[in-house]
Amino acid sequence: MSFAIQHNRRIFTTQKYKEMAEVADKKKKKWKAKYDKDTYLNWYETMQRIRLFENRALQMYGQNKIRGFCHVYIGQEAIAGGMSSALRPEDAVITGYRQHGTAISRGISTKEAMAELFGKSTGINKGKGGSMHFFSKENRYFGGNGIVGATIPIGTGIALAEQYKKTDNIAVTMFGDGAARQGSLHESFNMAMTWKLPVLYICENNNYAMGTSVERTSNVHDIYKLGSAYDMPSEPVDGMDVEKVHEAIEKAVKHIRSGKGPYFLEIKTYRYKGHSVSDPATYRSRDEVNEYKEKDPIKQLESRILDGNIASKEEIKEIKDRLKKEIEEALEFAENSEYPDKSELYTDNYLQEDYPFIKD
């Protein structure tokens, strides 16, 4: 007997699902380790650190210890993981507001990140930036930006600065599928290709811009194809698989560093939670969410590590326990830190002296 299952307007039969599962099973058996133990364990650690950090942050939000906006990255960690191994520390990164994971993968400590979420003076931006606005000059991390699509021209500008200074650093410019529809993408792509800027554009396509699916936004569902209008090398990537993310970014980075100009990767991923903490995400089915959870990037990597005898269960447990301790210490640090002094209201502000509308 064959039941029809409707999913995202595609009709699959249970038979078809069975066949797909068998193909996936065969692929799994064929998997072979390509990298050394440290690489796998570093990926695991980076991704688990982000997941544990955000799970605790969500709990703290529930207790009103974190206020304001909070957009979590849970489900998307393979992108931050794969990126961390494919870039150099000197490379610049800029992204949107769903940024805790990216920031942590670039070296911002969980203490500084948690304290920032708590609005405390010991946060990475003295508690004045909050969840959407981490920034770190030392880590070449340019945010954290709440304006959808704004990172695309800013990242392009960072790449222009690197070219002007004749470095071989690249600027990674990240944005969501919703942001990809902004005009700023086209102006930036055009300029970056004309001037062969050292920029890697990454669209983290998690299928939704708030409650609006990619299918409802445009007739072009494969966002990477937007690059072809500018002859920009562009590819789709499986964002649930950290190895594939690493490989794709490594290849793109090699192209960019050799002076050939920009590259565009559409990394297909999924966010398990709503758009932000206040979104119950009723616009998608539980089956859809579960389908992605089945391919969870951390679980996938953990089974590869264990099945491939890369590390033992005990080693994995040791990493998890160490990270749990780290996150508890970050929480304690955030709790025990002071809020910024009132005088901080007047520091770190940009003031244009000749702005004509300043009032005393």
- Find out whether 69 and 97 touch, Cβ atoms under 8 Å: yes
Phi, psi of 193 (to 5 degrees): -75, -40
Residue closer to ligand TPP by CB (options 98, 100) is: 98
Q: Is residue 179 involved in binding ligand TPP (CB under 6 A)?
A: yes
- Segment 230 to 269, residues that bind ligand TPP, using CB under 6 A: none
Question: Residue number with the shortest CB distance to ligand TPP?
Answer: 176
Beta-bridge partner residues of 268? 205, 238
Closest approach, Cβ 250 to ligand TPP, in A, equals 24
Q: Is residue 177 involved in binding ligand TPP (CB under 6 A)?
A: yes
Query: Which of 49, 51, 56, 98: binder of ligand TPP (CB under 6 A)?
Result: 98
Nearest-angstrom CA–CA distance, 75 and 77:
6
Residue closer to ligand TPP by CB (options 49, 275) is: 275
The DSSP annotation for 50-62 comes to HHHHHHHHHHHHH
Residue closer to ligand TPP by CB (options 162, 266) is: 266
3-state secondary structure 238-307: ECCCHHHHHHHHHHHHHHHHHHHCCEEEEEECCCCCCCCCCCCCCCCCHHHHHHHHCCCHHHHHHHHHHH
- Find out whether 113 and 53 touch, Cβ atoms under 8 Å: yes
Interface mask toward ligand TPP for 265-284; x: CB under 6 A: ----------x---------
Q: Is residue 49 involved in binding ligand TPP (CB under 6 A)?
A: no
The DSSP output letter for 224 is G
Q: Is residue 209 involved in binding ligand TPP (CB under 6 A)?
A: yes
The DSSP output letter for 309 is T
Q: Is residue 95 involved in binding ligand TPP (CB under 6 A)?
A: no
Q: Is residue 176 involved in binding ligand TPP (CB under 6 A)?
A: yes
> Given the rule CB under 6 A, which of 143-151, 157-165, 248-256, 338-346 is the region that contacts ligand TPP?
143-151
Q: Is residue 227 involved in binding ligand TPP (CB under 6 A)?
A: no
Phi, psi of 40 (to 5 degrees): -65, -45
The DSSP output letter for 123 is S
Q: How many of the chain's residues bind ligand TPP (CB under 6 A)?
A: 16
Residue closer to ligand TPP by CB (options 24, 210) is: 210
Single out the residue of 253, 162, 167 nearest to residue 202, CA to CA: 253
Q: Is residue 206 involved in binding ligand TPP (CB under 6 A)?
A: yes
Query: Which of 33, 107, 109, 146: binder of ligand TPP (CB under 6 A)?
Result: 146
Residue closer to ligand TPP by CB (options 99, 122) is: 99
Reading the block at residue 359, the tokens are 């009032």
Query: Which of 5, 21, 147, 229: binder of ligand TPP (CB under 6 A)?
Result: 147
Nearest-angstrom CA–CA distance, 177 and 190:
19
Binding site for ligand TPP (CB under 6 A): 96, 98, 146-149, 175-179, 206, 208-210, 275
